[in-house]
Amino acid sequence: MRVRVLGTAAGGGLPQWNCGCESCCRAAELGTQRTQDCLAISGDGTSWYLVNASPDLRTQLLATPELRPEPGTRRTPVEGVLLTSAELDHTLGLVTLREAGRLTIHATAAVHRALRQAFPITEVIGNYTTVRSEEIAGGQVLAGGIAVELVGVGDKRPRYASGLPGADWVVAYRFTDAASGRSLVYAPCLPAWNEAFERIIDGADIVLLDGTFHTEDELTRSSGSDRPARSMGHLPIRAALPEIARHPGTRFLFTHLNNTNPLAHPDAPEHAELRAAGAAIAEERQLLVLE
């Protein structure tokens, strides 16, 4: 099983186009860039699935040789998309995929409802290609031999879907290579480390974990905002580190970094804290091989 990290930033990326904070200014000055959260996964190196579809998707696809069409063809290796939520930074890239010959979207019932009613992007795309909306409940095996499990980790609706009913608005996925039995968990948005999440990561080889904020009061210190990390649906990295210590056999990589997170910069002194805990920050275009 091969996993390509396409993007590692929260909504807006780094630097964020409308932000003049110290972190964004420094990123612009040094040429540091992080694109918005997205993952590609394949069990056989031929059939690939996207996990989330970021607004930066076109750039991410073109930067990834495995996801380009073969010369002389218009056939994409992308078989479908699995969504962890209905947030705009996880779904806007679906518009880019309207030029595909067909598009299969895997998501929970609540997410599909949002994409049909509050933000009818599937209807819009359906005017350009054949769209198939598949409700995912776990137990599926994707092309290439990847078994999928999922767990609901949050009920935070996107702002545009605040009036819609439903549960499991935010999920984490566990992908297992049917051939080798090795597995990876993807949880870019995690409001709390609960028993259900503990079960789905048990024995996993790699966990890509919510790294939106380094500390609970990060926004307060950087911008004066009164929105703590957990109130926005994100367990801060510092609060996750003690939990990580209980899983010494698992490799933890943080992704979905907000532009205010000092760990978005490779020379931040805060990286020492992660190294001491046996964790690290996921990098753009990083390839993870599980075999």
Query: Domain locations in the chain?
Result: 2-289
Q: How many CB atoms lie within 10 A of CB 98?
A: 15
Q: What is the tens place of the pLDDT at every residue in 138-171? A: 889 999 999 999 999 999 999 999 999 999 999 9
Kindly report the pTM of this predicted structure: 0.96
Tell me what the mean pLDDT of segment 115-126 comes to: 97
CA distance 241 to 236: 9
CA distance 126 to 117: 14
Written as six digits, the tokens of 249 are 């056999």
Q: What is the tens place of the pLDDT at every residue in 251-291? A: 999 999 999 999 999 999 999 999 999 999 999 999 999 99
Written as six digits, the tokens of 181 are 């039995």
Q: What is the tens place of the pLDDT at every residue in 6-44? A: 999 999 999 999 999 889 999 999 888 999 999 999 999
Amino acid 138: pLDDT: 84
Q: State the DSSP code for 14.
A: B
225: pLDDT strictly greater than 80: no
When the pLDDT of each residue in the chain is averaged and rounded to a whole number, the result is 95
224: pLDDT strictly greater than 70: no
- For the segment(s) 2-289, the CATH number from 3.90.230.10, 3.30.1330.200, 3.40.50.300, 3.60.15.10 is 3.60.15.10
Amino acid 182: pLDDT: 98
